[in-house]
Amino acid sequence: MEFDDQGEKMNLRRGNLRTIVLVLVVVVVVAILTVLHLTRLPTPYRDPKSGVVWNFPSAQSSLKDRFIRWFIPSWNRDVGHRSIHDVNRLITALDIYWEKFGEYPTGNNKMIVKKLEGDNPSKEVIIVFHEHCISQNRELNDMWGTPYLIRIVPRKEMEIRSAGRDKNFGTEDDDFIIAPLNR
């Protein structure tokens, strides 16, 4: 063992210093990763290639919810994913309709659902919606029970919008997608 002038053990000091520095580095890295994990993604987002604008705040969560989920993984894990799933299924059905008939179905939510469920020129069912997604009026509802706003402007754009948790359109918690139509 090495001793300094006062007779203290040098190796012990160096080992303690290395351990302290290593612990501090680990703490800083964990803190940075936690902050990055807890921050929200910027929304709405516009895809530069396709021009699609999407905003799904219900799929993102508040800082508090993310913090809780960090410690309780089963907490509220499906929030917003149903909106994304419903919208993706609807867009797929609308694209299939376009491929079969050369145009997108027009009308309000109820009329579009009716056309996708078989009230179309070939009487073909394009999609079967889950009963928990359809109101008694045969409108496609979001996960909070509000009918989706479906707007299709031929050869221009398609908009599908959920009113979000507060059930009011035009507020910051709306989930939506706006996609340009080039056909």
Confidence of residue 73 (pLDDT cuts 50, 70, 90): very low
Q: What is the DSSP string of the chain?
A: --B-TT--BHHHHHHHHHHHHHHHHHHHHHHHHHHHHHSPPPSSEE-TTT--EEE-TTTS--HHHHHHHHH-TTTTTTTTHHHHHHHHHHHHHHHHHHHHHSS---SSHHHHHHHHTT-STT--------GGGB-TTS-BB-TTSPBPEEEEETTTEEEEEE-TTTT-TTSTT-EEEEEE---
Query: Is this prediction's pTM over 0.75?
Result: no
Per CATH, domain 45-180 is 1.10.3470: no
Q: What is the average pLDDT score of the chain?
A: 76
> Does 83 have pLDDT greater than 60?
yes
- Mean predicted confidence (pLDDT) in 17-44: 72
